Structure 1
């Protein structure tokens, strides 16, 4: 299995894919719209484009686009934070439900006691 990187007709990165097909010589069959040249890990590219001539990935995002992406990311709440908030709300609802259940049980016990004292039960 070999990971390659797919790009569109303008050489803009689309997605990484795994190639599993092998030819009769034992070489991986790489699709025409893919390259084995890895995307750089750090710093990451915001809008990577493959330069076929130089066999490298380049950044095509403007500084304005990069700033916009970075500022949007800081204002959003992370999924973990959202889950923590939802968990806290659910725990509060559970505690309230348990309190109401306890109050109902006490009311029922009191009513049963009253009925027993009056000889109804």
Structure 2
């Protein structure tokens, strides 16, 4: 799995995504995504030519968000990232468990074949 960052038609960050490799192990990054991680901006905008993110939030937007955070109505960007990270870690653990169970199943099948195919 590989982490990419999706942006909309105006190049504003929307969500982080994970992508899977193809059969040869190569990753194909979707057209509206980048592997460049956005900083903890309030309104991150990607610049494909420069391969960088900039903050596009106005002072009013920043002040309004800070007021919401102070009153506890909205989680901070750091809290959102922590939540996203936890979700990705759960997905990774589930994938690792699946890989382990598939490896055990393959080993059991190979053992059956080696013993003459009798169950």
TM-score range, shorter chain: 0.5 to 0.7
Q: Rate the CA distance shift 1:31–1:77 in 2: closer, same or farther, 3 A.
A: closer
Question: Structure 1 segments of 4 or more deviating over 4 A?
Answer: none
- Give the alignment's TM-score, normalised by structure 1: 0.56
Q: Rate the CA distance shift 1:78–1:5 in 2: closer, same or farther, 3 A.
A: closer
Structure 1 residues 1-121: aligned runs within 5 Å: 1-22=1-22, 24=24, 26-40=25-39, 44-76=40-72
Q: Residue deviations 1:17-38, cap 9 Å, x none?
A: 00003264x3201111100001
Mark the runs of 5 or more structure 1 residues left unpaired by the alignment. Answer: 80-121
State the structure with more CA Rg.
1
* Coordinate RMSD, CA, aligned: 2.0
- Give the alignment's TM-score, normalised by structure 2: 0.57
Count of aligned pairs? 75
* Displacement of 1:64: 1.4
Mark the runs of 5 or more structure 2 residues left unpaired by the alignment. Answer: 76-119
